[in-house]
Structure 1
Amino acid sequence: MYLHVQRLINEIIPDEPDPAAANALQEGLGGQFGEMRTMMQYLFQSINFRGPAGKPYKDLLQGIGTEEISHVELIGTTISRLLDGSPRYQGKKTDPLDQPGAGGKTPLEIATHQSNIHHYLVAAQGALPVDAAGNPWSGSYVYNSGNLVLDLLYNLMLESTGRLQKCRIYEMTDNKTARSTISYLIVRDQAHENAYAKALETLGVDWKKTLPIPKTNAEQFPEVKKLLDLGLQSKQYSFDLTSQSEAGKIFRGMSPSNDGTELDATEQAPAGVPMTIAEERFEEFAPGADPELLALIQATADIEMAEVQPVYGPIPPAS
């Protein structure tokens, strides 16, 4: 069972729209080594896990897989922010929607010659479950052999490749919005590398000879170094409200990264940062809600919020 806390796992720094950077980030979301892949792979491995004695390993997969859900949310929201307003529509909010933007340019003209046209044509300036070339995400990416050692080795390779690709994406743009998210994911990929490397060590696998973690020297990126100095590469969260996770039996001791840090699995979840909802995009007819519809939306929200009970677990019977 999953609960959603309405906070982003990391802050997205505001900057100018950048549709090219948004499309590059699509690889980190829906590519073969992207966040949708890691999310689905680890969750399926944990769902299909066999062997009660191996519960700490199942819990480790579950915790990392749950974190990857938040990474999908983070990188998808970042792509949306990079696209939001990227056509630089300068018309007034009171103008008819079929009027061109300032200077005689049509509002979505940018979509015909820059980046991924589907960001505008299909997604209303939002993220898509595709890679940077527009190929749809595929469930065939998911590796779940049922063999613990094979799965852990594959996961270590997946995190290493994902971090390598994100370092390349970082080098493609200096946009602060893009880099704030890319840097965070680079560091968290390293934390997950440490988790799978440590798990393999506990199983007697000399992974350093089998699969050396690539040296990306990501600490040269100032945003990454700031997070490394905080030790974020050596933390792992359980996302377990009941405190029954046994992943801490594995994620402990000195870091396999040999950076002098000690692994820490004492936190259930990071604090996160407040979430905001993007402004309307009139040139996209999004959300397309006129005053009457907005009034209905608010009325529905009032009803729903009045029925919400701030409890976890079974709802107490009515007296």
Structure 2
Amino acid sequence: MYLHRQQLINEIAVDEPDPAAANALQEGLGGQFGEMRTMMQYLFQSMNFRGDPASKPYKDLIQAVGTEEISHVELIGTTIARLLDGAPGYHGKPTDPVDEPGKKGATPLSIAKDTGNIHHFLVGAQGALPKDSAGNPWSGSYVYNSGNLILDLLYNLMLESTGRLQKCRIYQMTDNKTARSTIAYLIVRDQAHENAYAKALESLGVDWGKTLPIPKTNAEQFPEVKKLVDQGLQSVQYTFDIDDANQAAKLYRGASPSNDGTELSTQTIPEGGMPITIAPERREEFSPGLDPELLALIQATAEVEIQSIEKTDTTTA
């Protein structure tokens, strides 16, 4: 059972909208090595896990990382929406139901034709899509779940390493602060997950370093990444376990496989975060939210239900 906390796992910096950066981030969300892939792969591996009680730490570690990936999907999807919201080229009037296209020479969605992915405006109403940066839909065929623990852990290590490599490339594609704040966080957390799977493989006698060394991306050259690495964020894994039954700490401990002089540790939930807010209405997308008529209908319906409940209680008494 999963519980939701009304917070994003990391703060998203404020900057100007950037549809092109939003489309690049789609690869990190719905691409073959994106956050939707890691989320589904680890959750399916944990659900399908088999073994005796002694193997529980491995299931718990995979499940903990998979649970965190849910929050990464939420974070990167929200970031994409922020990068698209009120994209440059549109300065509408909030008092107008929908600006008239072409009025005073303005075309509200003209930027969609030549910047980023037109589907962000045409289909998603300036929101994230379950697709990659080329517009290909996310596919369940990406998920690798062999049923063999060592094979799964090796594949997971490769997946995290490739995802981290791609995010370093996306970072180099944009200087937008909104995009970079999320990209940097995910780069560092990918390293934490590389450490998780590398440590698990070590415990199984796999000399993974000779076969599959963690690629050196030198991501610490990015200021936003260095700040998080200096805080040790690459060496902690969250369990998200409110019952304190998760045994991932039996594996995620000791010297970091990244050889950066840090010690691995676990904690229940991340510190900090950012409150979740509802995005503003987008009138040019015909996405107004609740208009006054709908809101009045909801309130009237609620009042009728309350009166019905009160009448039932009175009759019962």
User: TM-score, normalization: structure 2?
Assistant: 0.92
Matched residues in 1 for 2:178 and 2:301: separation?
Answer: 33
CA contact under 8 A between 1:10 and 1:181: conserved in structure 2? yes
Unpaired segments ≥5 residues, structure 2: 306-317
Matched residues in 1 for 2:269 and 2:231: separation?
Answer: 17
Counterpart for residue 182 of structure 2: 181
Query: How far apart are residue 301 of structure 1 and its match?
Result: 8.7
Please list, as runs of the form range in 1=range in 2, the aligned pairs for 1:113-124 lying within 5 A after superposition: 113-124=114-125
Counterpart for residue 87 of structure 2: 86
Question: Per-residue CA shift, 1:236-267, capped at 9, x if unaligned?
Answer: 00001100000000000010000000001133
Please list, as runs of the form range in 1=range in 2, the aligned pairs for 1:3-22 lying within 5 A after superposition: 3-22=3-22
Q: Establish whether residue 39 from structure 1 lines up as the match of residue 39 from structure 2.
A: yes
Counterpart for residue 262 of structure 2: 261
Residue 81 of structure 1 aligns with an amino acid whose one-letter code is: R
What is the total number of aligned residue pairs between the two structures? 304
Matched residues in 2 for 1:271 and 1:303: separation?
Answer: 41
Q: 1:44 to 1:281 in 2, by over 3 A?
A: same
Matched residues in 1 for 2:199 and 2:67: separation?
Answer: 19
CA contact under 8 A between 2:18 and 2:88: conserved in structure 1? no
Residue 168 of structure 1 aligns with an amino acid whose one-letter code is: R
Matched residues in 2 for 1:175 and 1:268: separation?
Answer: 28
Counterpart for residue 309 of structure 2: none
CA contact under 8 A between 1:91 and 1:102: conserved in structure 2? no
User: TM-score, normalization: structure 1?
Assistant: 0.91
CA contact under 8 A between 1:90 and 1:101: conserved in structure 2? no
Counterpart for residue 312 of structure 1: none
- For the residue of structure 2 that corresponds to 1:236, the secondary structure is strand
CA contact under 8 A between 1:254 and 1:263: conserved in structure 2? yes
The structure whose Rg is larger is 2
- For the residue of structure 2 that corresponds to 1:219, the secondary structure is helix
Matched residues in 1 for 2:98 and 2:228: separation?
Answer: 44
Counterpart for residue 155 of structure 1: 156
Q: 1:302 to 1:95 in 2, by over 3 A?
A: same
Query: How far apart are residue 268 of structure 1 and its match?
Result: 3.6
Please list, as runs of the form range in 1=range in 2, the aligned pairs for 1:191-230 lying within 5 A after superposition: 191-230=192-231
More displaced, 227-236 or 113-122?
113-122
CA contact under 8 A between 2:97 and 2:283: conserved in structure 1? no
Query: How far apart are residue 105 of structure 1 and its match?
Result: 2.0
Cα-Cα RMSD = 1.8
Please list, as runs of the form range in 1=range in 2, the aligned pairs for 1:225-236 lying within 5 A after superposition: 225-236=226-237
- For the residue of structure 1 that corresponds to 2:258, the secondary structure is coil
- For the residue of structure 2 that corresponds to 1:256, the secondary structure is coil
Q: Establish whether residue 99 from structure 1 lines up as the match of residue 100 from structure 2.
A: yes
Matched residues in 2 for 1:77 and 1:247: separation?
Answer: 29
CA contact under 8 A between 1:238 and 1:268: conserved in structure 2? yes
Residue 150 of structure 1 aligns with an amino acid whose one-letter code is: L
Counterpart for residue 165 of structure 2: 164
Query: How far apart are residue 287 of structure 1 and its match?
Result: 3.4
Residue 38 of structure 2 aligns with an amino acid whose one-letter code is: T
Q: 1:303 to 1:154 in 2, by over 3 A?
A: farther
Query: How far apart are residue 297 of structure 1 and its match?
Result: 4.8
Question: Per-residue CA shift, 1:160-217, capped at 9, x if unaligned?
Answer: 0000000000000000000000000000000000000000000000000110110000
Counterpart for residue 238 of structure 2: 237
CA contact under 8 A between 1:83 and 1:125: conserved in structure 2? yes
CA contact under 8 A between 1:97 and 1:282: conserved in structure 2? yes
CA contact under 8 A between 1:87 and 1:109: conserved in structure 2? no
Query: How far apart are residue 88 of structure 1 and its match?
Result: 3.5
- For the residue of structure 2 that corresponds to 1:264, the secondary structure is strand
CA contact under 8 A between 1:15 and 1:177: conserved in structure 2? yes
Matched residues in 2 for 1:303 and 1:177: separation?
Answer: 44
Please list, as runs of the form range in 1=range in 2, the aligned pairs for 1:228-307 lying within 5 A after superposition: 228-297=229-298
